[in-house]
Amino acid sequence: MANFATNNDVADYVPDIFDYEVVDFTSELTRATDMVKKQLKSDWWRGVSNDFSGDKLNPAQWKETTVYAALAYFILPKLSSFRPDDTFLEMSGFYRDRFSNTFKLEVTSGVDYDDNSDGEYGEAERVYTRLDRLVR
């Protein structure tokens, strides 16, 4: 299983992130990729009869969302001292909001899901969903 984002992608969003004596965020990116897949399965895939496979998602579509999740939930809390006026906690809140908004935007814009496993993401394989509807 490949991550949807890399260390370089994180550095694109926060250029000085490696100035804090941490040289690799691969484990945090793996956790963030798993988090995105679980939220997709919960919010987008629900009610579909066949099995969900995160490997059929388009990684490029979820790169930004994964970076935001990694920063908000795994990387910045790791760097935080959890004291008042902690910059990392403030940044974490910002990226948590960005994660939520970007996730909703991607889902409502249509999720690329390679249902036939041919490596192509055609318009027929883009699934649109509204997240504000109650499903019973």
Distance separating alpha carbons of residues 25 and 71, to the nearest angstrom: 10
pLDDT digits (tens, 9 = 90+) for 79-122: 998 888 889 999 999 999 999 999 999 998 888 888 777 877 87
Is the C-alpha dihedral spanning 32, 63, 115, 131 positive or negative? positive
Distance separating alpha carbons of residues 58 and 111, to the nearest angstrom: 8
φ/ψ region of 69 (left if φ > 0, alpha if ψ in -120 to 50, else beta) reads: alpha
Opening angle at CA 30, ends 29 and 32, nearest 5: 60
Supply the pLDDT for residue 88.
Answer: 93
Helix axes 26-43, 87-109, angle to 10 degrees: 40
Share of the chain above pLDDT 90, in %: 56
Structure pTM?
0.87
